[in-house]
Amino acid sequence: MTAARSFLRANKRVALAIQNHLPQAKTNLHEEYARTVAEYLRALQRGSVVVDVGGGKKCDFAHHRRPDSGVKLVAVDVSAEELAHNTDVDEKLVADASERLPFGNEEVDMIVSHSVVEHLRDSEAFVRESARVLKRGGLFIHMLPNRFAPFSVANQLMPRGLSRRLLRVLIPGSEGRLGFPAFYDRTYPSALRQMTARSGFEIVELRVGYYQAEYFDFFVPLYLLNVVYELITSSLRLENLAANVLIVARKS
C-alpha cells in the first residue's frame, strides 16, 4: 500500500506541474459558484429566505451574510444526521428535493446547491418544485457536474462498491463526503436550458468549465489523454461535453 501511495503522489505532482500551464484549468466553477452566491446573497433585502439544498453539515456561504441583514438561511437535506452538525443556518429541514420542497408557494427568494443535482433521481421535478416555492424574481443557482463528462460517465458505468473503494484510495479522507449515489438525470447544459424554460425561468447566465483532468491525476498518461480531450472540446465550445455547469436563472 505504501508503494501504491508513493506512485499516486508522484503522478499527482507531475499532473499539478502540467495543470499550471493549461488554459482550461484557469476556470474554476467551484470558486465562481461561491462568489456568485455571495454576490446575490449580499444584495437580498431583509426578510428574504435562502435555501441551501443538500446543505448537510455546513453552509459554505453563510459567512457572506451580513449579521444585520435579516436574511434567513435554511438547509434542506435528506440526512437528518448530516444536518444535526450544521450550525451555520437558521433552520434545518429533512426532505428529498426531487420529490417536494418543504415550503409554501412563492415563499423563497433564492435556492442554491453545489454538487447536489446529479444525486437527484428526477431533476425536472426539482426544477418544477423550485419554481413553485420561489417568489417572482427569485433566483435558482446551482453548480453541478456534466452528465457527459468523462469522469461522470466513468462514475455511471462503474459499480458503486468499486467506485467507493477507489475514492478511498485515490482521495484519502473522502469517506462521508464523496461516493454518494449519482444519477446525472439531464445534468447537461441543453437539458438545463429546456427544463428551466418549461418551468418559467429565464437564464441569467450559464457557464461551463472544461477542466476535469484532475480526476485522472493518479496516472499521468490517462491525465494527458483527458487534457487533449479538454483542449478539443473547449476549443470547439462543446458545452454538453464540458466538465461542469454553473447555472443562474430567475423566475419570471
Question: What fold characterizes domain 2-251?
Answer: Rossmann fold (3.40.50)
- Supply φ then ψ for residue 138, to 5 degrees: -65, 155
pLDDT at 216: 86
pLDDT at 182: 83
pTM (predicted TM-score) = 0.89
Query: Per-residue b/e over 12-33, b at no fewer than 16 CB within 10 Å?
Result: beebeeebeeeebbebebeeeb
Instruction: Give the domain ranges of the chain.
Output: 2-251
- pLDDT of 44 > 50? The answer is yes
Instruction: Identify the top-confidence range among 1-5, 60-64, 95-99, 194-198.
Output: 194-198
Cell numbers 459567512: residue: 63
pLDDT at 175: 39
- For the segment 187-208, what is each residue's pLDDT rounded down to a tens digit? 999 999 999 999 999 999 999 9
- How does residue 219 score in pLDDT terms, banded at 50, 70 and 90? confident
- For the segment 163-181, what is each residue's pLDDT rounded down to a tens digit? 556 555 544 443 333 445 7
- How does residue 67 score in pLDDT terms, banded at 50, 70 and 90? confident
Q: Assign 77 to helix, strand or coil.
A: strand
- For the segment 90-116, what is each residue's pLDDT rounded down to a tens digit? 999 999 998 899 999 999 999 999 999
| Mean of per-residue pLDDT scores for the chain | 90
Residue type, 81: E
- Supply φ then ψ for residue 166, to 5 degrees: -65, -40
